[in-house]
Each structure stands twice: as structure tokens, then as C-alpha cells.
Amino acid sequence: MREVFLLKFGELVLKGLNRLKFENRLVKLVKTRMYKYGTFEVYAKQSVLFVEPVECTDLEAAFDACRKIFGIVAVQRCAVCDKDIMVACKTAEEYLSDMLNEVKTFKVESRRSDKSFPMTSIQISQEIGGWLNDKFDHLSPKMDEPEMTVKVEVREKGIYISGKVYPGAGGLPNGSNGRGLLMLSGGIDSPVAGHMMAKRGLDLAAIHFFSYPYTSEEAKQKVLKLAEIMTDYTGKIPVFIVPFTEIQEAIRDNCFEDLFTVIMRRFMVRIADKLAQQQLCGCIITGESLGQVASQTMEALGVTNACSETPIFRPLIGMDKNEITIISRKIGTFETSILPYEDCCTVFTPKHPVTKPKMKKVLEEESRLDVDALVQRALDETYYIVVGE
């Protein structure tokens, strides 16, 4: 029996004259994600993306991957048969038998996209519903909240039959709205921030600040693992590793301790700004949430923003930790995020960090440092690792 995936568009249908650009991007993304599972024919028609296996090594994994592609609002795994109502009845009986045996009530919902088919949608539902009711003695039709809804779609190439519609990832296709640079730490917040911006159509690169020997090789591997988990939704991510030890030691040795965290964040943003420009990223993405820690007060964020010509997006700014954690668990990053390997933000943490820094005082402290030279040396020693290939 031939199976096909039907991927239903979400807000792409509202894109007007730009819709074709988004559809083409989505087709390209699906082909890329399906590559490791075999050969598939992928094409768009009537607000649906058809994914037809030609030669597939793992159909279950391929279907699961389709559910994690941004731009898709619903996913169906269907049996496809000739446009003959009796063939459709027999196909539904055979293909859905296991699912139908697990329920007691059902209904059939039909959609006739091919208007040349001689039966109406209601007639199709009645015919297939009657057949299934006769073949499965324990079943009872129920139009209001049945345990199972059989979906039937009559389209150009055949009749498509499925027993369940699964939610897709939603959002917009990766890369359809440009590229962003994610400041990726080892915590809970930044992977969620990256996921949320990728859902809005951004292609992601990531930057991680590594302070060996104050942070361990395990801490770096933890960050790479987080990026790898994210790639189930985002596709491959280049992770830029920035050596940050010299900068942190220079701040420790020369600056007022209580301003250490703010000055450190300003260096991070300076480096991210330059890297974003080099990598053609239109924004920097952080996992900051207003008031969550001392460096995330309104005043501290304002002082940090001043270091960047590139816009800084903070999708979590109005969320609390519980809301962020719920998303982290959903996308699969939580368990890795809580592994006990500290990142550079915990190095030389002041006992009494300033929560309302003044720009004049910050600039005075930074004047003790050769800021440009420190930034340039860090950039010169930066390297990257591509995950998700």
C-alpha cells in the first residue's frame, strides 16, 4: 500500500504575492530534512505539501521529522489509492484497521479538492462511513466528538485516507525572514529563544563564549549538544566558539568588581555584533528575560544595547522561568540544559552586582582596558563547528 505525507500550510496562505517564495523555501527545506531518510518526491499544490516516499529507510523517523519543520501547521500520514469509491472503502478498511479496532465511535470527514470527482463530500463520507460501520461490528458512528475521525481527501492524483491529523511546528520556514545570531549559553533560556526566532522564519547561527580553564570541555560539549537538539527544528547550525578567558581576566584585574557582569555582557555584545555583520546576520538573539538576574534589569539591558549596531531580539523578555521551562521541555533541550556544567557567565561573579548601572561609570571602568584589542584578539581566535549536518 502506497503511503504519502500531507503537510498543511499555516500562515503561508496569507502571504499574497510573496507566497510562492515561501512555498519554494519550504519545499527546499523538506527535501533537505528528508535526505537522510531516503528518496522522496516533494511538491506543493493547493496549500498542501506532498511528500511521497520513493525509497525510504525509516518512514516513522521521516514522518516525525516532518512534524518539526517550521511553516507546517498540520501533518497527515495517508494511504493513497485510485479515485474509485469502492477502492477507497477497501483501502480505508485495510489501512485504518488497527486504529479502528482501538475505538468505539468514529466519523468520516471528506474533502473534494478535485471537483471532477462524481460524488460530493457528503456522499463520500456516507459511503466510506457505511462501509466501515458494516466491517467493524463494534463501531458506532458519532458525529459529535467521536473517538476517531477518518479523513478523506479527493485530490488530483488520488484519494488520500488518514486516521489522525498531527499538529505541525507552525510558524514560517527557516530562512524565509533572514538570518540571526543566537548567543547560546548552556542554560535553559537561550535554546528556547533561538527556537522561537527560528519559528518566525530565521536561519540560525550561534555564538558561545568559552573560558577555559574556568569552564570545562564538558561545558562546551553541552552547548554543542543543545545546538544539535535544536537542529531537529532549525536545520544545521554553525556554532562559533569564542575564547573569552583573556577578556574576563582583564575585567577582573582592572575593573570595579560590582560592574563585572555588565562589562562582561558588553564585551559579549561587541563581539556578537561584529560576528553578526561578518556572517550576514540581521539580528542578535539572546535568552534574556526582564528582571530575571542583575544583568537583565531595564537599566542593564540599556547599557548593553549601546554596544551593538545590530538589533538585539529578546523573545523571552516578558516570560517567567516556568513559561520558558515548559517550552524547553517541549523542544527537548531541558534535560541537557540542567546538566551541572557551568558556563562563562558564572565565572568571577560579583557578590553585589550593580542592578542599575550608569553609563558614565561603566565607560570610566572600561577606559582601563584596551577594548578594541581584546575584542579583535577574541575574534581572531574564534572557530566554528557545524552541528546537524
Tell me which of 145, 169, 193 is where a domain ends.
169
Same domain, 207 and 151: no
Q: Are residues 73 and 53 in the same domain?
A: yes
Q: Do 194 and 161 share a domain, yes or no?
A: no
Report pLDDT for 110: 96
Among 169, 192, 209, the domain-final residue is 169
Instruction: Supply the pLDDT for residue 1.
Output: 83
List the domain range (segments joined by +) for residue 113: 3-169
3-state SS assignment for residue 281: coil
Q: Assess whether 212 and 124 both reside in one domain.
A: no
Q: Which helix (H) or strand (E) holds 65?
A: helix 59-66
Say if CB 279 and CB 175 are below 8 A apart.
no
Q: Is the pLDDT of residue 373 over 70?
A: yes
User: Can you spell out the DSSP letters for 133-153?
Assistant: HHH-TT-EE-SSS-SEEEEEE
Do residues 147 and 261 both lie within one domain?
A: no
Give percent of the chain above pLDDT 70: 97
Is the pLDDT confidence value at 42 over 70? yes
The one-letter amino acid code at 7 reads L
* Per-residue model confidence (pLDDT) at position 117: 95
Same domain for 362 and 218: yes
Percent of the chain with pLDDT over 90: 84
Lowest mean pLDDT among 200-204, 295-299, 339-343: 339-343
Residues 119 and 266 occupy one common structural domain? no
Please state, rounded to an integer, the average pLDDT across all residues of the chain: 93
> Lowest-pLDDT range, 10-19, 53-62, 72-81, 322-331?
10-19
Q: What is the pLDDT of residue 20?
A: 80
Residue 13: its pLDDT value, please?
Answer: 64
pLDDT digits 0-9 by tens, 303-321: 999 999 999 999 999 999 9
97 lies in the same domain as 232: no
266 — pLDDT class (breaks 50, 70, 90)? very high
217-234 helix and 189-199 helix, angle to the nearest 10 degrees: 20
Q: What is the mean pLDDT of residues 233-244?
A: 96
**pLDDT at 68 > cutoff 70:** yes
Give the CATH number, domain containing residue 99.
3.30.2130.30
196 within some domain: yes
Residue with the larger pLDDT of the pair 181 and 56: 181
- Our count of domains for the chain comes to 2
pTM: 0.90
Q: Give yes or no: residues 241 and 382 share one domain.
A: yes
Identify the pLDDT of residue 363: 96
End-to-end CA distance of the chain: 32
Is residue 195 in some structural domain?
yes
DSSP codes of every residue in 286-331:
----TTSSGGGSHHHHHHHHTT-SS-EE-TTTT--HHHHHHHHHHH
244 and 350 within one domain: yes
Task: Give mean pLDDT, residues 337-344.
Answer: 80
Residue 174 lies in a domain: no
Instruction: Report the alpha-carbon distance of residue 244 to residue 252 in Å, rounded.
Output: 12
In a domain, 40, yes or no: yes
229 and 139, same domain (yes or no): no
Report pLDDT for 16: 65
Please report the pLDDT score of residue 17 as a whole number: 67
Average pLDDT over residues 177-185: 96
Average pLDDT over residues 234-255: 96
Return the C-alpha cell found at 104.
468505539
* Burial class of residue 215 in the structure, from the number of CB atoms within 10 Å of its CB (0-12 exposed, 13-18 middle, 19+ buried): buried
Domain contains 115: yes
With a cut of 70, say whether residue 287 has pLDDT above it. yes
Q: What is the residue type of 118?
A: P
State mean pLDDT over 355-365: 95
Contact 194, 174 (CB under 8 A): no
Q: How far apart are CA 98 and CA 110, in angstroms?
A: 21
Q: Is the pLDDT of residue 150 over 70?
A: yes
In CATH, what number is assigned to the domain containing residue 345? Answer: 3.40.50.620
Average pLDDT score over residue span 194-208: 97
Strand partners, 284: 181, 312
Q: What is the pLDDT of residue 348?
A: 75
Q: Which residue has the higher pLDDT, 281 or 17?
A: 281
Contacts by 111-119 with C-beta closer than 8 Å and gap 24+?
A: 111/151, 111/152, 111/153, 111/154, 112/154, 113/46, 113/153, 113/154, 113/155, 113/156, 114/83, 114/154, 114/155, 114/156, 117/83, 117/154, 119/85
> What pLDDT does residue 205 have?
98
* pLDDT the model gives residue 82: 95
State the average pLDDT over residues 133-158: 95
Alpha helix (H) residue ranges in 200-259: 217-234, 245-254
pLDDT score at 19: 78
Whether residue 358 is found in the same domain as residue 227: yes
Tell me how crowded residue 294 is: count the other CB atoms within 10 A of its CB. 18
For residue 14, the model assigns a pLDDT of 66
Is the predicted pLDDT of residue 144 greater than 70, yes or no?
Answer: yes
pLDDT (0 to 100) of residue 344:
66
Which of 108, 136, 169 finishes a domain? 169
Is residue 347's pLDDT more than 90? no
Backbone CA torsion sign across 38, 43, 44, 48: negative
